[in-house]
Amino acid sequence: MNRRDPTWTSATTLPAGPRSEAGDRRAANARRWRAPRCVRWTRASARPRCRSRRGGSLPGAALLAVVLALLAQGMYRRRYWAVLCFEALLAFQVIVTSLALVVASTILAAATCLISVVLGGWLFWKLVRVMGRLQAGERQTLR
C-alpha cells in the first residue's frame, strides 16, 4: 500500500513499540555498515601480503574484475557473446574445481569443491536455456 492511496490509514501500519523500533535500528545499522564493510574487504584483499599469500597479483585481480564487469554489462544488455563467454568461464571453473576435488585432503575441502561443482553445473544448465532464447530472438529480428 502507498501512503498516497486514499484507502491507506495509519491503522494498517505496525504499532510503535520497542520491538518495531529495535527492528528499525537493526535495519539502519545494517545499511550504515554494509558499504564500509565492502570497502574494508576490498582494501584488505588489495594488500600485497594478502594476495601473495594466496598466489594472486594486482594486475591479475584487476584484469579479472574488468572482464567480469564487461561480462556483467553484456549480460545485462542481453548479448549472446557475453553469456557464451560467461559460460566458458563457468565451465573452466567447474573443470578446475572437479580436479581440485580429486586432490582434496579434508572433508571440508571436498565438500566445498563438490558444492562449487554442483552450483556451477546448475548455473551452466540454466544459462544454456537463456542462450537458446537469446539466439531465437536474434533470428526473429533478422527475418
pLDDT in tens, the chain (143 residues): 555 555 555 544 555 555 555 556 666 665 565 556 656 656 665 666 655 666 677 788 788 888 989 999 998 888 899 999 999 999 999 999 999 999 999 999 999 999 999 999 999 999 999 888 888 876 666 66
Q: Does 138 fall in a domain?
A: yes
Ramachandran bin of 55, using left for φ above 0, alpha for ψ from -120 to 50, beta for the remaining angles: left
- How far apart CA 85 and CA 128 sit, in angstroms, is 12
Confidence (pLDDT) at 57: 75
Say yes or no: 86 and 131 in one domain.
yes
Q: Does 49 fall in a domain?
A: no
- How far apart CA 33 and CA 66 sit, in angstroms, is 26
Confidence (pLDDT) at 60: 80
Domain residues for the domain of 126 are 78-143
Confidence (pLDDT) at 63: 87
Say yes or no: 35 and 91 in one domain.
no
CB 29 within 8 A of CB 37: no
Q: Is the pTM of this model over 0.75?
A: no
Q: Does 124 fall in a domain?
A: yes
Say yes or no: 82 and 134 in one domain.
yes
How many domains is the chain partitioned into structurally? 2
Say yes or no: 38 and 85 in one domain.
no
